[in-house]
Chains A and B, each alone.
Chain A
C-alpha cells in the first residue's frame, strides 16, 4: 500500500481497468455472435435450399448459451409433399442403378 493508501485514498484506476476488461470482453463477443448468426442463417438456408424448396419466412435460427456449451438451433419448416416427392425421385434413381 502506498502513501495515499495509508491516507485513506484508494487507487481507482485498477477498478476502471477491471470494469473495462470485463465489459469489453462481453461486448466484443456479442458483436461477433450477432454477425455469426446472420452468416450461419444465410449459409444454412442456401445449403438446404439447393435440395428442398423452403420458405424463408418459416426458418428460425437461435443460439442458446448454457453453462458449458452453446446450442445453435435451426428450425426449418418443410412442406410434407415436398419431402415425399424428393423421396420418390431418389427411390426411382436408386432402382434404376
Chain B
C-alpha cells in the first residue's frame, strides 16, 4: 500500500525542499521505492538539492497535460536506484496545473512507488493546495519562530478542510518536523522550545532537526543531507524521522555533533 506525503509549511525558507530530499533519500536507504515530486511550478529547486538539475527533460506539467509519459519524466537518482525525482516546470506558471491532471499523475505514481513525497511551494495558493490535495500524510515543517508557527497553524487548518481525505470525512494524518532547532538558544530562553511549539500546534512530533552547517554544504554539492553525511546531527535526525514515518518506535532526541577537543583546536574540517 503506497503512501502519498505532502511536505508543507505555509512560510517559505523553513526547509521544505531540504526535508523532502532528506526524507526521500532516507526512505530509499531503508529499501523502499520512493518518488519525490516538486510542486513549486516556476520556482523549482528540488532538482538542484537532489543534484539532478542538468538531467531534467520533462516535468510534472508535461505529464499532467499528457505531453509526456510518466516514465520519460522520472529521473532516477544516480546514487540510489530506488529513488526518483519528478521535477516542476520552470517556465510555466502555476495555473498550468489542474486538479484532474495532478490526480492522474498521483494515481500513476501510487502504482509504481511505496512512497510519493510532494514538495509543496510556500503560500496557500494553487500550487500548495494541489500539492496537499491527494496526500494521505502531511509533514508540516516549522522553525521555532513565531511567523513560521503561525503559518503552520494556518496550514494545519487547510489540511483538515481542503484535502481529499478531509472532504471524505477521513482523518488526515499530520506530523510536525521542527527544523533549524538550536538547543543552546532554547536553553538561554531565546528560542521557542519543542514543548512550546507542540503545545501551540498540538500535532504529533516526527522529528527535531538541529540547525546544522552540514545542510548548506550538502545543498552546495547537490546531495540530500542523509547521503552527503549520514552521521551529522541533521542527517541522523532525518534518518530517525523517516523510520518513524514507517511506524518504527524510535525514541525522540535532539541529535548533536559532539566536537572532539582536537577538532575544536584545529577548527574546520579540511573537506
Contacts and interface: CB of A to CB of B under 8 A. Distances in A.
A13 B200 contact: no
A23 B196 CA distance: 15
Contacts of B146: 16, 19-20
B188 A4 contact: yes
B56 to A, nearest CB: 39
B40 interface: no
Interface stretch (B59-67, B131-139, B149-157, B217-225): B149-157
B107 interface: no
B70 interface: no
Interface residues of A, number: 18
A28 B189 CA distance: 27
A95 to B, nearest CB: 49
Interface residues of B, number: 16
A13 B153 contact: no
B190 A20 contact: no
Given A20-B150, A20-B200, A21-B200, A13 B186 contact: yes
Contact of B191 (A13, A20, A21): A13
Interface in A1-26: 2, 4, 9-14, 16-17, 19-21, 23-24
A17 B157 CA distance: 20
B122 interface: no
B212 interface: no
Given A19-B146, A20-B146, A24-B200, A2 B157 contact: no
Most buried by B among A11, A16, A19: A16
A31 interface: yes
B200 A17 contact: yes
